[in-house]
Amino acid sequence: MKKLYYLLLFFLFIGMSIPTQAQILKQLQRSTERAVKKEASRKATKYVNKGVKKGADAAEKAIIKKTKKGEKEVQKEVDANPVAKEAVEEVKADNKKEEIKASAPTVVWSKFDYVPGETVIFDDGPSFDEENGEFPSRWDYYKGNFEIMEVDGSSVIGMLTSGYISPYMKNRNEDYLPDVFTLEFDAYYMPNIYNQRYYIVFYDLKTQRSNRESLYNYDITAYVNGIECEKQDNSYPNKARSNRDPVGGWKHISVAYTKGKLKVYMDDTRLINIPHMEGNPLGISIGNDGGSEKKYYIKNVRLAKGGVKYYDRVETDGKIIMNGIKFDVNKATLRPESMGSINKIYSMMQKNPDLNFSVEGHTDSDGSPERNLELSKERAKTVMDQLISKGIDASRLKSTGYGDKKPLESNTTAEGRANNRRVEFVKF
């Protein structure tokens, strides 16, 4: 009888322990999954915050250390466990984003000292209203073949053969360049071609050619890695023109002329600095050396009249008007060439600690008034934030925007619209 009693107890215990063991196993599995995910996430966060690119490997090593097992065995367990596998994949994806973010170039021309003239006298994108395949309507030419093209989503002037192109100015037979002026444009260079050349001459080749002799020594040649003229030449630091494998792409070329002083820049580097230029610049022609294997495109051409120094303008007018601060189309993203103007404002505020500015954005009349107002406010804030990031105390700045409500000129011409797209620094 006693044996039967103990036997019944034994089977009762076995019957109870089977579901209990199953529950324990399930709990262990869930606990393991939670631990794996928690550990992977914790380690991933730690390493991502430190900027380590291989957070996933670190997470896996943490699991290996914890389990005292080999890497292959742990990987098998991770692959078999959907929760752990998902956690590791999330870590890898996050680190991939961090790696891409870290490798993306930040283009800030912090030492760029070129400042465009404040009154635009010629401006051509060219407009998307121009029909592809047609000759650019706001230009004339001296030799060569030129037409409107679309390249990488931008409307450009394609230079199909060697020749020169000049702005079609009303008074182009006369001297239409002021004593202080700036010229800038973007030029495309093909990669791995070291001898592709653009030319800038300071007269209209079609209507002012008789002045060639007096200005010949100052004809500008812009290579992919350097700029030269008869009087002076220079190249990018460590990027001589003899380099047979140069990096191509779009380059921003800027020219500043101030009563005999000539400076020429490529992107953020000043390459030509001539203190006394002989002869008087009369007009502008832009050319190329041609060649069927090369592609020549220019865009965003702007010619502007210079003026009074910034601080003198503040003292006289109580504000500074700038159209040299540029943004991406319909965005508040600063273009790198804007930094020359912003650097000047920064330097002036550093030297004059009592000077405070309201940064005020303005647009042309293209687009809806509501969007223009919003865009002008966003752009003004972007400029203000840039100055603050450079070290100007936030209490010395504020920002607002007026959209297209306060035009300086008519919006019926490209030049008028260019002058209306501006940022003003108003003293307060």
Q: How confident is the model at residue 171 (pLDDT cuts 50, 70, 90)?
A: confident
Cα(204)–Cα(212) distance, rounded to whole angstroms? Answer: 9
Q: Dihedral (C-alpha) 12, 15, 18, 24: value to the nearest 10 degrees?
A: -50
In CATH, which of 3.40.50.2000, 3.60.15.10, 2.40.128.280, 2.60.120.560 is domain 119-305? 2.60.120.560
Pairing verdict, β 269-274 and 261-266: antiparallel
The gap from C-alpha 405 to its chain's centroid, in whole angstroms, comes to 28
Cβ–Cβ < 8 Å for 320, 313? yes
Helix or strand or coil: residue 424?
Answer: strand
Q: Quote the percentage of the chain above a pLDDT of 70.
A: 71
Burial 5-37 (b: 16+ CB within 10 A, else e): eeeeeeeeeeeeeeeeeeeeeeeeeeeeeeebb
Decide: residue 282, CB within 10 A, 0-12 exposed, 13-18 middle, 19+ buried: buried
Cα(310)–Cα(337) distance, rounded to whole angstroms? Answer: 18
Regarding predicted confidence, which is higher, 152 or 187?
Answer: 187
Which residue ranges does the chain devote to CATH 3.30.1330.60? 310-427
Cβ–Cβ < 8 Å for 286, 200? yes
Average pLDDT over residues 188-211: 89
Cα(70)–Cα(61) distance, rounded to whole angstroms? Answer: 10
pLDDT per residue as tens digits for the range 366-395: 999 999 999 999 999 999 999 999 999 999
Q: What is the chain's mean pLDDT, rounded?
A: 80
Regarding predicted confidence, which is higher, 265 or 74?
Answer: 265
Which residue ranges does the chain devote to CATH 2.60.120.560? 119-305
Q: How confident is the model at residue 235 (pLDDT cuts 50, 70, 90)?
A: low
pLDDT per residue as tens digits for the range 356-368: 999 999 999 999 9
Class of domain 310-427: alpha beta
pLDDT per residue as tens digits for the range 98-111: 544 444 445 468 77
Cα(233)–Cα(216) distance, rounded to whole angstroms? Answer: 15
Q: Has residue 87 got a pLDDT over 70?
A: no
The label of the residue with tokens 């001589």 reads 240
pLDDT for position 217: 82
